[in-house]
Chain A
């Protein structure tokens, strides 16, 4: 985490008078995997377009790999690989023809070899010579990923890369992303709604809503700040009446399971000891220390 690869400073963008990005500032370090999160229409795709110089901001400053996408767009685009929902391929051409075409645009040195390599890596080899028009959603997505990787970019923008992929496809892709990051230090911006998938993959998270930055930090930092209370679910034979047990408030009480609210995790051993003193505990599990809870907590807090 040394150099700043991407910097946004007070970016504003509106479409026909409607503001979509509002004073947005954040940065991404070299070699980082950034989870870029926010509800539908919050401006994630717009931000990715701005960073690639496809659209220009109304005000503010952008830097990507040391270049300004507005004035040196092609330098930026040479270094970036992009997958977005809205960018399509040529239907009457096969997967291979599409990739070879883009290999020319991206000045790939050994196109045939690189294309074969990526077709294989993305599991498209059996479909390489089918027309893209007949591709399923997931196959198109795989092709999009292959295109994004053609020129071995330093920065990878992935806009909902796993939506529409089958579970094994999603798993393979996420592993592959991680490997690209580890082996080649590729900086990755990952916009997604599938929070579970990226919880452990991303080094840091940015939350935006209505084009505004809501939160920015590692999972631990954000959890520290927003996940103040812990929910502990205990599987036990103990039956309790009332709303608390030895000072620990009871959140949920279902046969065989009790859910407690704990202020700090240091209190957990004391709760467990108290429970064991009066009954059996078969399992204990922390609830709500995940990205999804974090997402909702941040949205609530900032609403």
Chain B
């Protein structure tokens, strides 16, 4: 690993994201909607409308008792007001998937662009002519996608935390976010998932000719995983911290294996040839 070269590439790539508005605008707007606008839209009406006038409020509240048991359910059941229960549920449970989607999205866009972008701009050959081992190049490309994805997720969670706490404070008189499970999700599961996504995307990007192909193919790979994962996660994720520990551990293990093995599938000749076909 050539640290100086890796640093140069990461720097260059991250700065290139900044100067490519088409790339960062969607990456910024979607997370902002999820972390600022949507929580307000959901929390504020729940606070200000009289929920008892709604017919099916009983059904919703009854649902909470059917949640798999765990700290979240206990906390919800212990809340005296239906309003509080609903807001607490929304804030701490409904939004969890978004904080998996944001890093996945960012990781996919930047990762898919990593090699494919260099190919499209004809700069890959200039890189290949340099005394730069492919391991360094690969790691630089992985980090150049992983770091922004993780950074953006943390920023978003921070904004989300501030928004929902301010919006819900009058109702609870205390801070309701984050729970311990959220910290596990954000600091343990999410990075593992984004690293995996980055890896898959960078790898696809190295194999195909251009960004379009890379992005489409990555969608094919990432979406089913996403569906599966989020479907499962939404059920148990925030309820059970053991499950969080485990799913994080499994993801990290997968990442580790992928990264260990990947070097073998990349070589200069293949990278060069993939520019044309």
Interface contact B12-A105, CB-CB below 8 Å? no
Q: A90-B16, A90-B121 are in contact. Are A77 and B130 (CB under 8 A)?
A: yes
A182 to chain B, nearest CB (A): 25
Report if A276 contacts B (CB, 8 A): no
Main secondary structure of the interface of B (DSSP, over half): helix
Alpha-carbon gap, A52 to B122, bound state (A)? 17
Report if B258 contacts A (CB, 8 A): no
Report if A1 contacts B (CB, 8 A): no
Chain A, residues 73-110, CB within 8 Å of chain B (1/0): the string is 11101101010101111111100000001101111000
Report if B272 contacts A (CB, 8 A): yes
Interface contact A74-B16, CB-CB below 8 Å? no
Chain B, residues 7-31, CB within 8 Å of chain A (1/0): the string is 1110010001001100000000000
* Chain B: interface residue total (CB-CB under 8 A): 28
Interface contact B272-A49, CB-CB below 8 Å? yes
* Interface positions of A from 102 to 155, Cβ below 8 Å from B: 102, 104-107, 147
Report if A16 contacts B (CB, 8 A): yes
For A73, the chain B residues whose CB sits under 8 A away are: 268
Interface residues on A, range: 20 to 34
Interface contact A89-B5, CB-CB below 8 Å? no
Q: A55-B269, A104-B4, A104-B5 are in contact. Are A88 and B132 (CB under 8 A)?
A: no
Interface contact B131-A107, CB-CB below 8 Å? yes
Report if A56 contacts B (CB, 8 A): yes
Chain B, residues 107-133, CB within 8 Å of chain A (1/0): the string is 000000000000001110111111111
Shortest 10 CB-CB contacts between residues of A and residues of B: A104-B8, A88-B122, A77-B131, A87-B126, A87-B125, A105-B130, A78-B131, A74-B131, A56-B269, A82-B129
Residues of A within 8 A of B (CB): 15-16, 49, 52-56, 73-75, 77-78, 80, 82, 84, 86-93, 101-102, 104-107, 147
